[in-house]
């Protein structure tokens, strides 16, 4: 029987030709598993043979180390090939291909996403991003003057803007809970929300992963708190879906919105909305739908003409994520972070925005600050001098650079980042 290294080398040798077929990764995975009888190389976060294969599945510019995958992330070659092929198919005869052939196939995508999240396909709407997903619920949930929305001052600005607009327009009240950063005890967050609930609270809106710091919030506890008060809970999953393993049953949420061009590595401009089936009829869609669609999740997709290629290619993104496995992916992301955080955590002038010693509270996103160096200056130094791309974060309570590697990131790239960060921690940045 060939060794796993020989199998991998064979796969890589044929990869450029094979990857023009959009289902190649799932087929290659099945082939390797059947050949070596060991599964996909075990679950080793540091199994560089396996991760080199994943790295080779992306067409990216290695001249720049991209540690800013939190906003949007590149798609693997299989997904991009699917987009190009489907766009070409659409263009051949648009009115027929788009509406008669390609749009009906969205039901397969819906089913794939539903299985991935552990829910019914009748509870999944395919959208363009997390903002569109969440604003369908935010703007569509009936509220009256004086009703209270409970959220956090660490939630995403676009979502806070949506609530603030309803406040200006309809007279609802928006309360923003604060909690300490880094979070050392997740129950402190739950208590902060519990203390803020009043008899006027009609909805809670929470982030699964705080986009600023990477903090994983105790969503199930927060959803249960809301349910105990008969308050619906909206979960912003923009930075959690396909990032680490969980399903809807792990959250027990009624509403969940996410972008699929982040951690799922879907095409840019794709998202997903989950609404528990009994709740669908009570939410007005952002764009008008017929009365007959009141209880149909597809009413949230009534946005006019849009490219089917983007959302249909999502099935390839799901196949790619399944081939890696979310547990393996999360271990890899935490391992990559450990390569630089372990070097910096003992410096007195280095601060982290999450408890880096507790896996349940963070995964692929870390916020780090070096005292005396502004995020803008550090981010510019990393990019201008070392071609390492990060993003600076400034909040009323904290600041730092947000570091987000991905499955295609190499240990060598992380070590190079760690070298620069250690140098800055020791000596600062020369003017």
Phi-psi group of 339: left, alpha or beta (phi > 0 → left; psi -120 to 50 → alpha; rest → beta): alpha
> What is the phi/psi pair of residue 53, to 5°?
-65, -45
For residue 21, is pLDDT > 70?
A: no
For residue 149, is pLDDT > 80?
A: yes
pLDDT-above-90 percentage for the chain: 89
Q: How far apart are CA 414 and CA 340, in angstroms?
A: 7
- 19 domain-assigned: no
| Domain end position, chosen among 257, 292, 317 | 317
For residue 19, is pLDDT > 80?
A: no
- For residue 43, the model assigns a pLDDT of 55
What's the CATH code of the domain at 173? 3.40.640.10
With beta carbons less than 8 A apart as the criterion, state whether 255 and 297 touch.
no
Give residue for tokens 């190389």. 41
Query: 18: pLDDT confidence band, cut at 50, 70 and 90?
Result: very low
For residue 33, is pLDDT > 70?
A: no
| Domain end position, chosen among 290, 317, 344 | 317
Task: Say if residue 72 is exposed, middle or buried (CB neighbours under 10 Å; 0-12, 13-18, 19+).
Answer: middle
Do 302 and 372 lie in one domain? The reply is no
- 248 domain-assigned: yes
Query: 28: pLDDT confidence band, cut at 50, 70 and 90?
Result: very low
CB atoms within 10 A of CB 278: 10
Secondary structure class of 11 (helix, strand, coil):
helix
What's the CATH code of the domain at 371? 3.90.1150.10
- 101 domain-assigned: yes
Q: How far apart are CA 273 and CA 259, in angstroms?
A: 9
pLDDT tens column, 252-296: 999 999 999 999 999 999 999 999 999 999 999 999 999 999 999
Do 233 and 108 lie in one domain? The reply is yes
Do 308 and 368 lie in one domain? The reply is no
Residue 370 structural domain: 328-427
Do 349 and 245 lie in one domain? The reply is no
Query: 34: pLDDT confidence band, cut at 50, 70 and 90?
Result: very low
Mean pLDDT of the chain: 91
For residue 395, is pLDDT > 80?
A: yes
What average pLDDT does range 224-236 have in this prediction?
A: 97
Do 147 and 295 lie in one domain? The reply is yes
For residue 42, is pLDDT > 80?
A: no
What average pLDDT does range 205-217 have in this prediction?
A: 98
Closest alpha carbon to 45 in 339, 334, 240, 242 = 334
21 vs 63 pLDDT, higher one: 63
Do 332 and 313 lie in one domain? The reply is no
pLDDT tens column, 187-198: 999 999 999 999
Number of folded domains that form the chain: 2
Q: Quick one: CA dihedral 70, 72, 78, 82, positive or negative?
A: positive
- For residue 32, the model assigns a pLDDT of 40
- For residue 40, the model assigns a pLDDT of 38
- For residue 431, the model assigns a pLDDT of 74
Q: How far apart are CA 52 and CA 81, in angstroms?
A: 20
């Amino acid at each position: 029987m060939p060794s796993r290294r020989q199998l991998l080398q064979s796969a890589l040798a044929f990869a450029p030709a094979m990857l023009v077929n959009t289902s190649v990764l799932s087929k290659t995975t099945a082939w390797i598993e059947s050949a070596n009888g060991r599964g996909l190389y075990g679950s080793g976060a540091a199994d560089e043979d396996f991760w080199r294969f994943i790295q080779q599945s992306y067409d990216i510019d290695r001249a720049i180390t991209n540690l800013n995958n939190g906003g949007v992330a590149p798609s693997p070659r299989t997904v991009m090939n699917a987009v190009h092929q489907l766009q070409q198919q659409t263009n051949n005869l648009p009115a027929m291909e788009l509406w008669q052939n390609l749009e009906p196939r969205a039901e397969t995508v819906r089913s794939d996403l539903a299985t991935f999240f552990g829910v019914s396909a009748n509870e999944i709407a395919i959208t363009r991003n997390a903002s569109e997903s969440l604003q369908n619920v935010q703007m569509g949930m009936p509220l009256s003057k004086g009703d209270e929305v409970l959220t956090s001052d660490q939630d995403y600005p676009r979502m806070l803007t949506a609530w603030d607009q309803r406040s200006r327009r309809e007279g609802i009240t928006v309360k923003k809970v604060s909690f300490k950063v880094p979070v050392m005890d997740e129950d402190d967050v739950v208590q902060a929300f519990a203390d803020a609930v009043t008899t006027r609270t009609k909805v809670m809106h929470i982030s699964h992963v705080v986009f600023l710091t990477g903090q994983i919030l105790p969503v199930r506890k927060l959803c249960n708190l809301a349910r105990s008060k008969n308050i619906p809970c909206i979960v912003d999953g923009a930075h959690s879906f396909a990032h680490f393993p969980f399903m809807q049953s792990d959250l027990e949420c009624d509403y969940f919105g996410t972008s699929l061009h982040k951690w799922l590595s879907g095409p840019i401009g794709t998202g997903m909305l989950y609404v528990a089936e009994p709740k669908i009829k009570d939410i007005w869609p952002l764009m008008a739908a017929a009365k007959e669609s009141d209880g149909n999740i597809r009413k949230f997709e009534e946005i006019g003409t849009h490219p089917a290629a983007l959302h249909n290619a999502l099935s390839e993104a799901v196949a790619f994520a399944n081939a890696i496995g979310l547990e393996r992916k999360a271990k890899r992301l935490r391992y990559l972070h450990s390569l630089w955080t372990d070097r910096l955590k003992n410096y007195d002038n280095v601060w982290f925005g999450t408890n880096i010693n507790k896996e349940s509270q963070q995964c692929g996103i870390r916020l780090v600050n070096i005292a005396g160096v502004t995020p803008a200056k550090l981010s510019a130094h990393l990019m201008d001098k070392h071609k390492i791309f990060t993003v600076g974060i400034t909040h009323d309570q904290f600041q730092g650079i947000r570091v987000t590697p991905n499955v295609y990131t190499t240990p060598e790239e992380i070590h190079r980042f760690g070298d620069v960060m250690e140098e800055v921690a020791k000596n600062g940045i020369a003017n």
